[in-house]
């Protein structure tokens, strides 16, 4: 009797993970390298193949078993027009490829209606209402990611330069940020990556009571509130806020939004596996 193999894949710029289940049984998880299908599709394919090989090997299976598997892959960059379909054709097996925000939503809400705001290094907002998915943001540091840690870190450095110009009063956070961006923030920023700006939020957190930190935190909160309003979040529906920065700022939401907060029911990887199990 043929066994049913369900596989979920979660992939992003820092790594990918695979969850494999046979006949609805215990889940085997493995991890691999970065899997952004836009910035480096070849590396993404290699990372996914390796993680899949390891997951199958743990069950005594080879890659040939994928011919009968149901596979859902939630991958960073999958929202760009045509990106998911193009990457799916690279794979030597059939897979349902979607943007990683969809698997994050599925994991967080276990298929139910509600809204998800993710504030990590970047940001995105996504909601499911009556079977209709609405998605906004997630366009990256250069053009968006409002409320994300990289966006907020850049704001903090910009405000520190306002102190240097005399536009703002002296602030201990400005001094700390200047020391963290040698030899000068302008020169440092020329080669800084989004993750470098996001790391500055650790310094902001250590000076949370400073005027600049208060302005940055207020801007993050406003970006979160505005994003949810633009998304069309309905009062009374479940609201999940994830990401390292999201977890810290969620407690400061206005009462009407705070009342809707729920803990995430699962991870993006769980969402990918759940979607795979729903495939015919």
Confidence at residue 43, expressed as pLDDT on a 0 to 100 scale: 86
pLDDT band at 263 (very low <50, low <70, confident <90, very high): very high
Classify burial at 235, counting beta carbons within 10 Å of its beta carbon; exposed 0-12, middle 13-18, buried 19 or more.
Answer: exposed
Local structure of 151: helix, strand or coil:
helix
Confidence at residue 67, expressed as pLDDT on a 0 to 100 scale: 83
Taking CB atoms within 8 Å and a gap of at least 24, the contacts of 138-144 are: 138/79, 138/99, 138/101, 140/194, 141/194, 141/197
Do 78 and 133 sit in the same domain of this protein?
no
Strand 239-242 vs strand 5-12: parallel, antiparallel, or unpaired?
unpaired
Which domain does 200 fall in, by range? 113-264
Averaged over 161-172, what is the pLDDT? 94
Strand 27-32 vs strand 114-119: parallel, antiparallel, or unpaired?
unpaired
User: In sequence order, what are the residues at sequence separation of 6 or more whose Cβ sits closer than 8 angstroms to the Cβ of residue 244?
Assistant: 119, 120, 149
pLDDT band at 1 (very low <50, low <70, confident <90, very high): low
Averaged over 265-269, what is the pLDDT? 94
Angle between helices 172-180 and 149-164 (to 10 degrees): 110
The answer to whether the CB of 16 falls within 8 A of the CB of 41 is no
When the pLDDT of each residue in the chain is averaged and rounded to a whole number, the result is 90
Q: Domain of 45: which CATH number?
A: 3.30.420.40
Do 105 and 117 sit in the same domain of this protein?
no
Radius of gyration of the chain from Cα atoms? 21
Do 271 and 260 sit in the same domain of this protein?
no
Highest mean pLDDT among 59-68, 200-209, 250-259: 200-209
Confidence at residue 115, expressed as pLDDT on a 0 to 100 scale: 96
Do 197 and 66 sit in the same domain of this protein?
no
Confidence at residue 110, expressed as pLDDT on a 0 to 100 scale: 93
Q: Is the pLDDT of residue 13 over 80?
A: no
Do 155 and 250 sit in the same domain of this protein?
yes
Confidence at residue 79, expressed as pLDDT on a 0 to 100 scale: 85
Do 144 and 96 sit in the same domain of this protein?
no
Do 83 and 137 sit in the same domain of this protein?
no
Taking only the tens place, the pLDDT of each residue in 221-256 is 999 999 999 999 988 899 999 988 888 888 889 998
Number of domains into which the chain is organized: 2
Q: Is the pLDDT of residue 194 over 90?
A: no
Q: End-to-end distance of the chain based on CA atoms, in angstroms?
A: 17
Nearest CA to 216 out of 204, 232, 202, 233 is that of: 204
Averaged over 207-231, what is the pLDDT? 94
Cα dist from 276 to 149, 245, 264, 270, whole Å: 31, 29, 19, 10
Confidence at residue 277, expressed as pLDDT on a 0 to 100 scale: 93
Confidence at residue 94, expressed as pLDDT on a 0 to 100 scale: 83
- DSSP assignment of 36-74 equals BTTT-HHHHHHHHHHHHHHHHHHTT--GGGGGG-EEEEE
Averaged over 68-90, what is the pLDDT? 88
pLDDT band at 28 (very low <50, low <70, confident <90, very high): confident
Do 125 and 224 sit in the same domain of this protein?
yes
Do 133 and 242 sit in the same domain of this protein?
yes
Do 125 and 62 sit in the same domain of this protein?
no
Count of helices and strands (H, E) across the chain: 11, 9
């Amino acid at each position: 009797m043929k066994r049913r193999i369900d596989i979920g894949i979660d992939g992003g710029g820092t790594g990918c993970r695979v969850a494999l289940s046979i006949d609805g049984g215990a889940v085997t998880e493995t991890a691999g390298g970065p899997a952004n299908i836009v910035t480096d599709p070849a590396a993404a394919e290699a990372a996914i193949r390796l993680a899949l090989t390891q997951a199958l090997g743990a069950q005594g299976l080879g890659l040939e078993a994928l011919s009968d598997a149901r596979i859902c892959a939630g991958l960073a960059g999958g929202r760009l027009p045509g990106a998911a379909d193009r990457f799916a054709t690279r794979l030597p097996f059939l897979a349902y490829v979607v943007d990683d925000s969809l698997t994050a939503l599925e994991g967080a809400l276990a298929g139910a209606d509600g809204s998800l705001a993710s504030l990590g290094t970047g940001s995105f907002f996504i909601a499911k209402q009556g079977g209709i998915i609405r998605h906004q943001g997630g366009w990256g540091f250069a053009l968006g990611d409002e409320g994300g840690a990289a966006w907020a870190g850049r704001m903090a450095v910009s405000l520190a330069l306002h102190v240097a110009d005399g536009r703002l009063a002296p602030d201990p956070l400005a001094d700390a940020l200047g020391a963290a961006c040698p030899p000068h923030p302008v020169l440092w920023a020329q080669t800084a990556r989004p993750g470098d700006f996001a790391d500055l939020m650790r310094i902001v957190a250590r000076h949370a009571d400073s005027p600049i930190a208060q302005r940055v935190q207020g801007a993050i909160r406003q970006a979160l509130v505005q994003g949810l309003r633009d998304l069309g979040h309905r009062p009374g529906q479940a609201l999940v806020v994830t990401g390292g920065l999201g977890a810290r700022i969620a407690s400061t939401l206005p009462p009407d939004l705070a009342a809707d907060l729920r803990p995430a029911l699962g991870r993006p990887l769980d969402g990918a596996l759940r979607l795979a199990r729903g495939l015919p």
